[in-house]
Every structure is written in structure tokens, then in C-alpha cells.
């Protein structure tokens, strides 16, 4: 019997198997070409069929990532333009000197609350802060398209943000696609607070949104949530895979600002009573009859 490369002859096995009356049903294997089993040796594909790239390379449509070092350089350059020290920026933004220093050196990922506070203090548009390399945002004067996978990704403390529409400066809304990688709440420092309102829609997986007042809202695929983002809040993934959401934040509107400032103004008015009018000074007449 002639054997070819890649073939295994099972003749000897079949002879053994058919040597007993109980195995006569296997006799055809010894007489038939089916008694030879051909093994197909397939090489590993040189291209990943799911991404279209070679192993070890990034997919072509992977979103550009803004690493901590690049973000830190932008933050430092913006501070230097104002001629401020770390202490001066910390005073104006409410973010600690240590946090700003570590962020500028690329040693720390900032949460949403901190980078929005720094952006306001530095008068830096959110889009300029997270624009892709070599991209200078311009004022919104027409539709802005962000192709699939082409947003700019920044990995924050609990969410990896893919910022959309970053080429348009001065937008009233900040849209993102977020991957929630936080799994639990570690403490009060995890709660984020910022001016404006917030919207979240779950694309996949499940999340819990924890609020500092103790309320917890669980959301699954297709669920959404809208809330006042001045209330401390934190997102965590509770599904097996990391949840993916579409998020939207807005700046504080004039109505919201008035509503926020009104109670403080009333309290200030009660705390400082109106001064009593001073009695009119008595006038004395001169010899000519005119008031002095």
C-alpha cells in the first residue's frame, strides 16, 4: 500500500478491529479507500479576518488615542500661555497642585470633573483639549462628521472616552462614546460633579449609575438616563463584558445658573439687613437766611 504525505493508514487498526466477531461492522474500513484518513494541515492566516490586519498590528479603523503624555503637554502649554504657576492654576480651577503636576507629566489620568474644571480655568475649549494630533478646531459653521472609530480616545479613571466632533470649537454639547471600565465604587472621590446636564444611553452591556445621595440606577442595553450633573455621580459596569454607552454633557444654561444663584442671593439678603437711613442733618441758617 502506497502512502502519501498527509495520510495515515489505519489498515493495521482495522485488521485488529475486525478480528473479533463483535467488530465485523468495521471490516469495510480495511477494504475501502475510506480506510485512509487524510489530515489537512492549514497554515495560520497571515491576516486577521476580523480586523484586516496582521497579528500584532492595530486595526485600520481603531480610534486615535490621546495618551497621557500628549494631554499633559497640552495642559502645561495652556498654563504657560497665561504665565501661571501650578498654585495659581490650582486656585482658579479647584484642582490640587499635585493632581495638576502629575497630569502635566503624564503620570495621572484625569477624571471628567478635573479636566472640565481645568478647561474652564484655562479658557480652553474641550475640543482643543482632546483634538487629534495636528488638528486645530475651528468654529462650528457647518455639519461635522466623525466617521466610525475615528473619534479621539482618552482613558479616564473610570471611563475610556471617545470624543466626537472634536474639530468644532465652542460646541454647547460634548458627545462621547464611552467604555465603562470601572467595576466598583472605591469611595467619595469616585463621584464626579460638574455644571450642566448629562445624558447616557447604553449601547451594550449593563451599568449602574451611583449618585452621592445614595440612589442607584441600573441600566441595560437600550436604556437611557438624563440628570443634573451637579449631583455627584459615578458609572460602573456590572455585566460580564465592559458596557458601552453614548453620553452627552451640556454647559450650564442661563436658566440653570439663575436657579442656582437665586437661593444664595436670598440668603445673602437675609444675612445682611438693610442699613437704616441716617437722620437728616439739622440745617442752620446764616444771617442772610440761607442754609449753611
| pLDDT: which is higher, 9 or 121 | 121
The pLDDT of residue 30 is above 50:
no
What is the structure's pLDDT at 262?
Answer: 54
286: cell is: 446764616
Q: What is the pLDDT of residues 190-249, one digit of tens each?
A: 998 888 899 999 999 999 999 999 999 999 999 999 999 999 999 999 999 999 999 998
Contacts of 11 (CB under 8 A, 6+ apart): 1, 30, 35
What is the structure's pLDDT at 53?
Answer: 47
Q: How confident is the model at residue 16 (pLDDT cuts 50, 70, 90)?
A: very low
Question: Could you tell me the domains of the chain?
Answer: 7-38 (no CATH), 172-254 (2.60.120.10)
Average pLDDT, the chain: 75
- What average pLDDT does this structure show over 79-84? 91
What is the structure's pLDDT at 199?
Answer: 97
- State how far the Cα of 51 lies from the Cα of 45, in Å rounded to an integer: 12
The pLDDT of residue 180 is above 80:
yes
Q: How confident is the model at residue 28 (pLDDT cuts 50, 70, 90)?
A: very low
- Which residue in 174, 199, 187, 186 sits closest to 116, CA to CA? 174
HEC profile of 94-133: CCCHHHHHHHHCCCCCCCHHHHHHHHHHCCCCHHHHHCCC
What is the structure's pLDDT at 137?
Answer: 66
155 half-sphere exposure, CB direction, 13 A CA radius: 11
- State how far the Cα of 200 lies from the Cα of 50, in Å rounded to an integer: 29
What is the structure's pLDDT at 84?
Answer: 94
Q: What is the pLDDT of residues 100-117, one digit of tens each?
A: 999 999 888 887 778 778
Place of cell 472616552: 161
Helices 86-93 and 97-104, packing angle to 10 deg: 120
Please, are residues 237 and 206 in contact by the beta-carbon 8 Å criterion? Answer: yes
- State how far the Cα of 209 lies from the Cα of 238, in Å rounded to an integer: 10
Longest CA–CA separation in the chain, Å: 153
Q: How confident is the model at residue 83 (pLDDT cuts 50, 70, 90)?
A: very high
Q: How would you class 266 by CB atoms within 10 Å of its CB: exposed for 0-12, middle for 13-18, buried for 19 or more?
A: exposed
- Which residue in 62, 78, 61 sits closest to 70, CA to CA? 78
Q: What is the pLDDT of residues 47-57, one digit of tens each?
A: 444 334 455 55
User: Which has the minimum average pLDDT: 121-130, 224-233, 280-289?
Assistant: 280-289
What is the share, in percent, of the chain residues with pLDDT greater than 70?
A: 60
Which of 109-138 are b and which e, b meaning 16 or more Cβ less than 10 Å from the residue's Cβ? bbbbbbbbbbbbbbebbbbbbbbbeeeebe
Place of cell 461635522: 144
- State how far the Cα of 116 lies from the Cα of 127, in Å rounded to an integer: 11
Q: What is the DSSP string of 166-225?
A: TTEES-SEEEEEEEE---S--SGGG-B--SSEEEEEEEES-EEEEETTS-EEEE-TT-EE
Please, are residues 86 and 95 in contact by the beta-carbon 8 Å criterion? Answer: no
- What average pLDDT does this structure show over 28-39? 49
Q: Are strands 159-163 and 243-250 parallel, antiparallel or unpaired?
A: unpaired
Amino acid at each position: 500500500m502506497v502512502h502519501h504525505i498527509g495520510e495515515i493508514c489505519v489498515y493495521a487498526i482495522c485488521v485488529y478491529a475486525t478480528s473479533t466477531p463483535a467488530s465485523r461492522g468495521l471490516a469495510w474500513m480495511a477494504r475501502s479507500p475510506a480506510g485512509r484518513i487524510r489530515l489537512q494541515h492549514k497554515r495560520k492566516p497571515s491576516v486577521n479576518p476580523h480586523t484586516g490586519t496582521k497579528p500584532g498590528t492595530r486595526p485600520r479603523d481603531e480610534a486615535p488615542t490621546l495618551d497621557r503624555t500628549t494631554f499633559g503637554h497640552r495642559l502645561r502649554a495652556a498654563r504657560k500661555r497665561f504665565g501661571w504657576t501650578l498654585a495659581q492654576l490650582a486656585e482658579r480651577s479647584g484642582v490640587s497642585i499635585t493632581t495638576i503636576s502629575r497630569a502635566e507629566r503624564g503620570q495621572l489620568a484625569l477624571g471628567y470633573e478635573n479636566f472640565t474644571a481645568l478647561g474652564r480655568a484655562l479658557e480652553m475649549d474641550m475640543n482643543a483639549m482632546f483634538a487629534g494630533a495636528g488638528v486645530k478646531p475651528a468654529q462650528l459653521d457647518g455639519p461635522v462628521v466623525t466617521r466610525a472609530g475615528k473619534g479621539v480616545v482618552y482613558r479616564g479613571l473610570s471611563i475610556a472616552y471617545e470624543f466626537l466632533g472634536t474639530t468644532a470649537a465652542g460646541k454647547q454639547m460634548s458627545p462621547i462614546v464611552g467604555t465603562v471600565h470601572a467595576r466598583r465604587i472605591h469611595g467619595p472621590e469616585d463621584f464626579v460633579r460638574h455644571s450642566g446636564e448629562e445624558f447616557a444611553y447604553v449601547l451594550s452591556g449593563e451599568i449602574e449609575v451611583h449618585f452621592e445621595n445614595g440612589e442607584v440606577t441600573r441600566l441595560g442595553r437600550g436604556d437611557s438616563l438624563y440628570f443634573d450633573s451637579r449631583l455627584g455621580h459615578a458609572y460602573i459596569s456590572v455585566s460580564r463584558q465592559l458596557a458601552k454607552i453614548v453620553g452627552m454633557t451640556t454647559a450650564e444654561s442661563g436658566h440653570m445658573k439663575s436657579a442656582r444663584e437665586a437661593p444664595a442671593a436670598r440668603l445673602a439678603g437675609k444675612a445682611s439687613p438693610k442699613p437704616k437711613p441716617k437722620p437728616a442733618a439739622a440745617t442752620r441758617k446764616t444771617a442772610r437766611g440761607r442754609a449753611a
